[in-house]
């Protein structure tokens, strides 16, 4: 393939020096800045996970010391939650695609967008610097009074880092909300928006409204550590459970920040490779909003055995069963989308189908945790670990990989190698299940989480899980290589390689600097895939009036 510079009409051709990238306000380039930094964080956090799994292959703590192990899982959590999962799809794919999907030249506030990346880097590197000094050993949850009075790590640094990253999250959230409200192309009504945009909207709302509560709790922790104010310290009249309430008031909605965008990606990919419109479009769109709202009402289900009132426990349990409903609606709609389709199994589709399976099982496992009497037994065990990894990794990361492959041609102008993609997707799926399914059994057996050593009778399941982690790591490393390779050697991508609907496919791959040569108009609903009998007809862009 000719590696001649891409045509100057592409956003990639607009200046190549570091300054052209680091000072860009083009949302597509900012997306790349995020993509590169998030990839680094993902593999850093992943490496810590692999180290932990190797340690856990034997019951004794023989590879690393207890202090090191505790720092590993704390940082694994902090990095994966705040420096990867929360920004993952919104800051990379969302940043790149949102203006393209709604037919805008850029986000509403391009400079704010770039600033958000700098703030993100500042905060995350600040938090990481705590590792250099000696690490953090509070777990990602920063529970008081461990974090305020007893932890010997650099808790304030890490907390301030996370706090700073919160600003970047809020900036992105505000930018997305305003963009979706004000910059939709003519004719692109709310109910013609792709579901991806809907989920970005719901995510942005949660970002803007939940992140400040995390900020409040982190501020109070830092005030307590540095200035001795005792809001969470019982000796000074405070209450340690107050922190848990504040923390989960943020962190439960944050779980939806971490999964809604994945739902958005899958809602794009499944219809495209089934060549059918999304089943129940409105139900899927509105259930995203329902999830965003309900997500604020269930934080207490993290605290059933904490000593909070039993009646509060019953109420939170009930609400938690309710929040499962909109997710269930989505799963039914995605499954039925396949019906009477013309299904092909390219890499994005494989990832999307694996998402569907893993998200379903992870979500069903959530019912066990919502049921009070069972939660008493499995709370703070590997059952919980398995549950949220099924949602966060099996769900969100799998969807992220689906989206990355799906829009890779759009972002780079190159095709990735299809065979390698399919192999990697399958390896990931198998490795994931091998890693995390045994953890459900471990949890039921009573294996508590965050244990550096464990009783020997649990070893069988731990060995399976550790073996799976290695397979999973290979599954995630493969795309790093072949996608990197395809950047320079991949086949040139046409504007619309998947014959997909959506405005982003109507412009060149890669798109020109301001996205569209002529600003698009929209007159048709989303997912207007050709019906039976027309599936071989070339998909016609509906740029013109129908």
Q: How far is the CB of 443 from other proteins (least distance, A)?
A: 10
Site string for other proteins, 500-539 (x = CB under 8 A): --------------x-----------------x-------
Q: Which of 146, 293, 430, 471 binds other proteins (CB under 8 A)?
A: 146
352-335-529 Cα angle (round to 5):
80
- Residues 166-195 touching other proteins, rule: CB under 8 A, are 170, 173-175, 177-179, 181-183
Q: Which of 33, 75, 220, 386 binds other proteins (CB under 8 A)?
A: 220
Q: Is 260 in the site for other proteins (CB under 8 A)?
A: no
CA gap 88, 400 in Å, rounded = 8
| Nearer CB in complex with other proteins: 43/448 | 448
Cβ–Cβ < 8 Å for 467, 53: no
β-bridge mates for residue 492, sequence order = 414
Q: Please report, to the nearest 10 degrees, the dihedral formed by the alpha carbons of residues 116, 107, 498, 427 taken in order.
A: 10
Question: In which element (H, E) is residue 426 found?
Answer: helix 418-445
Q: Which of 343, 423, 470, 471 binds other proteins (CB under 8 A)?
A: 343
- Residues 398-437 touching other proteins, rule: CB under 8 A, are none
Number of residues in contact with other proteins, rule: CB under 8 A?
A: 126
Q: How far is the CB of 387 from other proteins (least distance, A)?
A: 12
Cβ–Cβ < 8 Å for 97, 196: yes
Q: How far is the CB of 308 from other proteins (least distance, A)?
A: 10
Choices 37-45, 194-202, 324-332, 501-509; region in contact with other proteins by CB under 8 A: 324-332
Choices 83-91, 187-195, 220-228, 495-503; region in contact with other proteins by CB under 8 A: 220-228
Choices 5-13, 47-55, 86-94, 227-235; region in contact with other proteins by CB under 8 A: 227-235
Cβ–Cβ < 8 Å for 133, 537: no
Q: How far is the CB of 39 from other proteins (least distance, A)?
A: 27
- Residues 445-474 touching other proteins, rule: CB under 8 A, are 445-446, 448-455, 457-458, 460-461
CA gap 241, 234 in Å, rounded = 10
Q: Is 54 in the site for other proteins (CB under 8 A)?
A: no
Q: Is 492 in the site for other proteins (CB under 8 A)?
A: no
Q: Could you give the 3-state DSSP secondary structure of residue 416?
A: coil
b vs e for 259-274, b when ≥16 Cβ sit within 10 Å of the residue's Cβ?
A: bbbbbbbbbbbbbbbb
| Nearer CB in complex with other proteins: 102/473 | 102
- Residues 91-120 touching other proteins, rule: CB under 8 A, are 99, 104-111
Choices 239-247, 257-265, 488-496, 537-545; region in contact with other proteins by CB under 8 A: 239-247
β-bridge mates for residue 414, sequence order = 492
Angstrom CA distances, 416 to 85, 485, 509, stand at 24, 8, 14
Cβ–Cβ < 8 Å for 239, 183: no
Q: Is 371 in the site for other proteins (CB under 8 A)?
A: yes
CA gap 536, 51 in Å, rounded = 49
| Nearer CB in complex with other proteins: 98/415 | 98
CA gap 12, 352 in Å, rounded = 28
| Nearer CB in complex with other proteins: 88/360 | 360
Q: Which of 229, 297, 312, 487 binds other proteins (CB under 8 A)?
A: 229
Q: Is 304 in the site for other proteins (CB under 8 A)?
A: yes
Number of Cβ atoms within 10 Å of the Cβ of 456: 11
Q: Considering only CA atoms, which of 112, 156, 150, 151 is closest in space to residue 130?
A: 156
Q: Is 338 in the site for other proteins (CB under 8 A)?
A: yes
Q: Is 139 in the site for other proteins (CB under 8 A)?
A: yes
CA gap 460, 438 in Å, rounded = 9
């Amino acid at each position: 393939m000719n590696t001649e510079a891409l045509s100057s009409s592409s956003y990639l051709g607009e200046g190549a020096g570091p300054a052209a990238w680091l000072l860009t306000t083009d949302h597509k380039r900012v997306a790349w800045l995020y993509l590169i930094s998030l990839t680094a964080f993902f593999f850093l956090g992943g490496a810590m996970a692999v180290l932990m799994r190797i340690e856990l292959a034997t019951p004794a703590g023989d590879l690393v010391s207890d202090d090191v192990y505790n720092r590993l899982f704390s940082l694994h959590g902090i990095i994966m939650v705040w420096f990867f999962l929360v920004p993952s799809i919104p800051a990379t794919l969302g940043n790149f695609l949102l203006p393209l999907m709604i037919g805008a030249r850029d986000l509403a506030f391009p400079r704010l967008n770039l600033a958000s990346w700098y703030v993100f880097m500042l905060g995350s590197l600040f938090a990481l610097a705590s590792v250099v000094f000696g690490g953090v050993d509070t777990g990602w949850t920063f529970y008081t009074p461990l974090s305020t009075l007893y932890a010997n790590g650099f808790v304030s640094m890490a907390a301030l880092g996370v706090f700073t990253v919160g600003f970047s999250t809020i900036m992105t959230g505000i930018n997305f909300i305003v963009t979706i409200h004000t910059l939709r192309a003519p004719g692109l009504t709310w109910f013609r928006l792709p579901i991806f945009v809907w989920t970005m909207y719901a995510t942005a709302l949660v970002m803007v409204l939940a992140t400040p509560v995390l900020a409040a709790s982190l501020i109070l922790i830092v005030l307590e550590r540095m200035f001795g104010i005792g809001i969470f310290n019982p000796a000074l009249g405070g209450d340690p459970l107050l922190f848990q309430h504040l923390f989960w008031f943020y962190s439960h909605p944050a779980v939806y920040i971490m999964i809604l965008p994945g739902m958005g990606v899958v809602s794009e990919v499944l219809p495209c490779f089934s060549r059918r419109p999304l089943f129940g479009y409105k139900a899927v769109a509105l259930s995203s909003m329902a999830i965003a709202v309900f997500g604020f009402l269930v934080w207490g289900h993290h605290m059933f055995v904490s000593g909070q009132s039993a009646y509060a426990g019953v109420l939170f349990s009930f609400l938690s069963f309710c929040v499962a409903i909109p997710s269930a609606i989505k799963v039914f709609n995605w499954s039925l989308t396949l019906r009477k389709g013309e299904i092909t199994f390219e890499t994005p589709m494989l990832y999307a189908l694996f998402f569907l399976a893993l998200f379903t099982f992870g979500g069903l496992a959530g019912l066990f945790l919502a049921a009070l009497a069972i939660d008493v037994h499995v709370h703070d065990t590997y059952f919980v670990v398995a549950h949220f990894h099924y949602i966060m990794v099996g769900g969100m990361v799998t969807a992220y990989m689906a989206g990355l492959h799906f829009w890779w041609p759009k972002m780079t102008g190159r095709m990735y190698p299809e065979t390698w993609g399919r192999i990697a997707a399958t390896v990931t799926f198998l490795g994931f299940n091998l890693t995390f399914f045994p953890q459900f059994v471990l949890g039921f057996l009573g294996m508590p989480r965050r244990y550096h050593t464990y009783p020997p009778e649990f070893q069988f399941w731990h060995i399976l899980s550790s073996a799976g982690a290695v397979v999973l790591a290979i599954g995630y490393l493969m795309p790093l290589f072949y996608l990197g390779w395809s950047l320079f050697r991949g086949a040139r991508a046409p504007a619309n390689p998947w014959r997909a609907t959506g405005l982003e496919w109507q412009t060149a791959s890669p798109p020109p600097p301001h996205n569209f040569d002529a600003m698009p108009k929209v007159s048709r609903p989303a997912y207007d895939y050709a019906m039976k009998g027309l599936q071989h007809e070339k998909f016609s862009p509906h740029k013109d009036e129908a």
